[in-house]
């Protein structure tokens, strides 16, 4: 049964967290606006359009980054204040077990964690799509750095259609959705080519929603026997690959909802594509990050409930150090997975696993 003191703690937890998230978000918006003022002016958009086409997506993006850590700092802040006023001492002295004292923290963490989980699965990816579209159109396209990076990218692309079939496109134009200087596709069995297609042009047919070859030469090889035929126009299957999937989109993993992301990973695995750890880590982190609210809440509540001579300042200093360690561990595990062979599931959950032991340790050492 939730009592008055429980409602007091839940209210303090949620309101303090929301206040800190709001403050940091406002600061982030001010800093981002100062950095992108020239880009906003050059875009020719009105203030209302910039808000609806960029900041409405930017703010949820910032919130998704800071929410667990801000809730952790919020727990430490208001719990330390309670401890400094001897409120926690009075609660425990009245016969309330320490486990019972922590119950409202768990309730508040569950409420915020559940909302945050839904947001990471569906709402934040939609917001990231809005932010990504604005970035790509008005900022990245005008950035000298991005232009130099794009210049390094060849207009030639190589695709893995399935485990045995590979394709290549020369001078692919994303606007016209066509390869204007050639296309080839080869199927390999063992170490031999058994099927080959070469064409002068590859185009996306909007009527049939498929790919069309022009001036194609098809070779079928069966041992020492080879068959060659020509087609002026023919349809070719690229195993469901759409024009938008040929050129990598750096905002792709952020803009897809979790069901879309899961479907994308499965379809790419069926094709035998490599380098999917980035997408897998993103998918697993959408479950791991909301769960971190519970772990960080335990650590924050236990640490700050102990009255110390340093007061709130000492508690906040310890909290900031723990938060920094959590962020560093999270970045390292993600990097080891995306750039190496570290399992994506383990990479997403490693910070939670490690800090679960930290939470258990501080709980065992806490005076009850």
**299/186 same-domain check:** no
Q: What is the average per-residue pLDDT within 170-185?
A: 85
pLDDT at position 218 over 50:
yes
**138/172 same-domain check:** no
Residue that wins the pLDDT comparison between 151 and 209: 209
Two tokens, residue 265: 């990973």
The total number of structural domains in the chain stands at 2
**33/61 same-domain check:** yes
In a domain, 315, yes or no: yes
From the centroid of its chain, how far is CA 312? 33
pLDDT at position 145 over 60:
no
Burial label for 78, CB within 10 Å (0-12, 13-18, 19+), is buried
**43/94 same-domain check:** yes
**118/190 same-domain check:** no
**346/206 same-domain check:** no
pLDDT (tens digit per residue) in 52-83:
999 999 999 999 999 999 999 999 999 999 98
Contacts with 188 (C-beta within 8 Å, 6 or more apart), sequence order? 164, 165, 166, 194
CA distances from 171 to 153, 209, 352 (A): 11, 21, 46
In a domain, 116, yes or no: yes
pLDDT at position 330 over 60:
yes
Q: pLDDT value at position 152?
A: 47
Task: Tell me the percentage of the chain whose pLDDT exceeds 70.
Answer: 94
In a domain, 132, yes or no: yes
pLDDT at position 32 over 50:
yes
Two tokens, residue 347: 């990479």
Q: pLDDT value at position 292?
A: 95
Q: What is the average per-residue pLDDT within 187-206?
A: 92
pLDDT category at 89 given cuts 50, 70, 90 is confident
pLDDT category at 106 given cuts 50, 70, 90 is very high
pLDDT at position 248 over 80:
no
Residue that wins the pLDDT comparison between 316 and 26: 26
Q: pLDDT value at position 66?
A: 95
**137/76 same-domain check:** yes
**75/132 same-domain check:** yes
**112/186 same-domain check:** no
- 3-state secondary structure at position 217: strand
Enclosing domain of residue 226: 163-238
pLDDT category at 316 given cuts 50, 70, 90 is confident
Q: Name the average pLDDT for the chain.
A: 89
Q: How far apart are CA 288 and CA 121, in angstroms?
A: 12
pLDDT at position 174 over 50:
yes
Q: How far apart are CA 267 and CA 262, in angstroms?
A: 9
Q: pLDDT value at position 24?
A: 96
**8/139 same-domain check:** yes
**196/283 same-domain check:** no
Q: pLDDT value at position 151?
A: 46
In a domain, 148, yes or no: no
In a domain, 261, yes or no: no
- Out of 7-21, 76-90, 134-148, 259-273, which region has the weakest mean confidence (pLDDT)? 134-148
359: which DSSP letter? H
Q: pLDDT value at position 240?
A: 82
Last residue of a domain, one of 238, 262, 294: 238
Last residue of a domain, one of 193, 211, 238: 238
In a domain, 269, yes or no: no
241: which DSSP letter? -
Two tokens, residue 90: 């009075």
The Cβ of residue 1 has, within 10 Å, a number of other Cβ atoms equal to 3
Q: What is the average per-residue pLDDT within 276-294?
A: 95
**29/127 same-domain check:** yes
Q: pLDDT value at position 154?
A: 57
Residue that wins the pLDDT comparison between 322 and 251: 322
pLDDT at position 144 over 60:
no
pLDDT at position 147 over 70:
no
pLDDT at position 282 over 90:
yes
pLDDT at position 175 over 80:
no
Q: What is the average per-residue pLDDT within 145-150?
A: 51
In a domain, 345, yes or no: yes
In a domain, 155, yes or no: no
pLDDT at position 206 over 60:
yes
């Amino acid at each position: 049964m939730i009592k008055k003191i429980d409602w007091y703690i839940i209210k303090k937890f949620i309101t303090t967290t929301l206040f800190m998230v709001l403050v940091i978000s406002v600061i982030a918006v001010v800093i981002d606006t100062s950095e992108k003022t020239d880009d906003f002016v050059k875009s020719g958009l009105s203030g209302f359009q910039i808000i609806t086409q960029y900041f409405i997506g930017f703010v949820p993006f910032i919130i998704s980054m800071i929410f667990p850590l801000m809730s952790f700092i919020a727990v430490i802040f208001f719990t330390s204040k309670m401890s400094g006023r001897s409120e926690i001492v009075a609660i425990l002295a009245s016969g309330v077990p320490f486990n019972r004292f922590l119950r409202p923290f768990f309730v508040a963490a569950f409420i915020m964690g559940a909302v945050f989980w839904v947001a990471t699965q569906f709402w934040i990816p939609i917001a990231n799509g809005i932010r990504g579209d604005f970035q790509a159109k008005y900022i990245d396209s005008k950035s000298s750095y991005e232009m130099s990076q794009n210049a390094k990218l060849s207009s030639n692309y190589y695709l893995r259609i399935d485990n045995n079939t590979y394709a290549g496109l020369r001078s692919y134009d994303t606007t016209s959705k066509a390869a204007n200087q050639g296309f080839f596709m080869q199927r390999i069995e063992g170490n031999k080519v058994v099927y080959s297609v070469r064409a002068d042009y590859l185009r996306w047919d909007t009527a049939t929603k498929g790919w069309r070859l022009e001036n194609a030469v098809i070779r079928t090889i069966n041992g020492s026997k080879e068959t060659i035929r020509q087609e002026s126009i023919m349809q070719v299957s690229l195993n469901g690959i759409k024009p938008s999937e040929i050129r990598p989109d750096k905002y792709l993993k952020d803009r897809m909802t979790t069901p879309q992301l899961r479907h994308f990973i499965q379809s790419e695995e069926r094709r035998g594509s490599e380098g999917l750890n980035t997408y897998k880590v993103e998918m697993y982190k959408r479950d791991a990050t909301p769960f971190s609210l519970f772990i960080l809440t335990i650590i924050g509540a236990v640490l700050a409930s102990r009255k110390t001579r340093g007061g709130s300042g000492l508690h906040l200093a310890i909290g900031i150090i723990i938060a920094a360690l959590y962020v560093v561990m999270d970045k390292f595990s993600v990097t080891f997975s995306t750039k190496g062979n570290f399992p994506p599931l383990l990479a997403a959950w490693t910070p939670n696993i490690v800090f679960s032991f930290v939470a258990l340790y501080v709980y065992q050492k806490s005076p009850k």
